[in-house]
Amino acid sequence: TCVKAGMEKTHLVLYPGERIRSPRILVMSWKGDCQAAHNLFRRLMLSQYVPKQNGQPVQLPFALQCFDRYSRSRPDWGTEAGQIEAAKAACDLGCDTLWLDAAWFPGGFPNGVGNLTCKPEEFPNGLKPVSDACHKLGLKFMLWFEPERVCEGTDVSVQHPEFVYGHENRQSHEGLFKLGEPAALQWMTDLLSKRITEYGVDIYRQDFNMDPLQDWRANDEPDRVGMTEILYIQGLYKMWDDLLARHPGLIIDNCASGGRRIDLEMCMRSIPMWRSDTNCWAGNADLNQLQSLGLGQYVPLSMACGWQVDPYDFRSSTTAGSISQWDYMNAKFPAETGKKLVEEAKKNAPYWYGDFYPLMPSNASPDQFSAYQLHRPDMDAGLVLAFRRQECDLVGIIVSLKGINPEMNYIVEFVDESLMPKERKMTGRELISGVELRPGEKHSSLVVWYRADSSGR
């Protein structure tokens, strides 16, 4: 087997005293079962690479985030008063984070990217009143930034045009900030750090919605092919390292048009909390299942977004954290169901820090089942998520659970769309030989929790 990896074009000389680094590559050797190897890789990522807090992998948020639902339809939402009300709604639902996306700066998204100040009428006191309201309610405050893309006429382009690769390299009105130049990098790092402090930001979300390659290559010298890209990415890593050092406890969300920068170095500093831009609209529950099945075998911590207050949709999106893009401003909003779903997501979260097992082949077909298992060997416990899709004629499937001790007895809870648990006691051998999963009608889901019965009965 031959594997090639690295930068596409690199041919350069270094100046006296200059040092650069190449892309980081992680290779893990393994023998035997492929799925066991995937779980060894997950364990390696969790123990050595993902961001830590207090020596443990960072805990993902349970966030209320309604930018795509409300930013263009409810002008009262993207205001100081609207966001304080959103914080109260998040708290009432049992969420632990208010997520304010790209709705707070002049010009709006996308034309205002490059303005790193608040809208003066909507947020006359800055964002501190919003974060203060969050903190009083016991919530974290999460805020969206896109520092690398600079639109013409915005503050960054006007105040420091020398820090932006000119718009002449592209037909659009967007420019690329020069993270590879030390003066520009320092200026942007200081500005972002200032905003994190004055706005009370707990989770810093960085998006990136443009292709930088043409700017990188247009600014390479003939004997320095690839150098602009190398210095730029080194600058990006340094900026994040500096922000993390200046703000202990800060968590970074790595978006980039939805999961387009999930490389090892980024995973060491951040979590892809918006792993795909299919999160931007409703109706993608099956895609969320598919993404969990695929990405979950390599990147243990990621997040997706649920749009509907129903178990099938929300269970399809939840991982070690959850995003609720719910219509909470609707008078008919089913708040009690929402609370139950967030509570269930919190109960599920610890198992995403364990081993991951696909129980059905990966597929996107609406006439199939989807199912996967999360298992914590240290707890001898786990969960199964099963989904009968909208055109699936199978009423159920039988699956063999992994990681189970055949000599133990287990307490097993089955929770269908009613959200009412039904408890059974099963032996380890029964769980291994085959568990019948019957979610219910088409387009329905089932969660199964199991734990070793310490009573021995």
- pLDDT tens digits, 346-382: 999 999 999 999 999 999 999 999 999 999 999 999 9
390-404 pLDDT, tens digit each: 999 999 999 999 999
Query: What is the rounded average pLDDT of the residues 173-198?
Result: 97
Q: Tokens 């919605």 — which residue? A: 209
Helix (H) or strand (E) segment spanning residue 342: helix 335-348
The string of pLDDT tens digits covering residues 266-317 is 999 999 999 999 999 999 999 999 999 999 999 999 999 999 999 999 999 9
Give 98's contacts (C-beta < 8 A, 6+ positions apart): 63, 64, 83, 86, 87, 90, 130, 134, 139, 140, 141, 142
Tell me, yes or no, if the pTM score tops 0.85: yes
Whether 190 shows a pLDDT value over 70: the answer reads yes
C-alpha to C-alpha distance for 100 and 294, rounded to whole angstroms: 28
Least confident of 1-5, 199-203, 250-254: 1-5
pLDDT tens, residue by residue, 225-260: 999 999 999 999 999 999 999 999 999 999 999 999
H or E stretch at 90: helix 80-93
* pLDDT in the model for residue 216: 96
Q: What is the mean pLDDT of residues 64-68?
A: 98
The token pair at 98 is 């208010």
CA distance linking residue 112 with residue 153, whole number of Å: 9
- If you average pLDDT over residues 414-432, what whole number do you get? 97
Q: With bands split at pLDDT 50, 70 and 90, how would you rate the model's confidence at 5? A: confident
> Does the structure show a pLDDT above 80 at 167?
no
pLDDT-derived band of residue 2, with 50, 70 and 90 as boundaries? confident
Residue 1, pLDDT above cutoff 80: no
| pLDDT computed for residue 168 by the predictor | 60
Q: Inform me whether the pLDDT recorded for 171 exceeds 80.
A: no
* Strands 62-64, 97-100: pairing kind: parallel
Residue 437 has pLDDT above 70, yes or no: yes
Q: What percent of the chain has pLDDT over 70?
A: 98
pLDDT at 169 over 60: no
Q: How many CB atoms lie within 10 A of CB 425?
A: 12
Between CA 308 and CA 284, with CA 277 as vertex, the angle to 5 degrees is 35
When pLDDT is averaged across residues 64-92 and rounded to a whole number, the result is 98
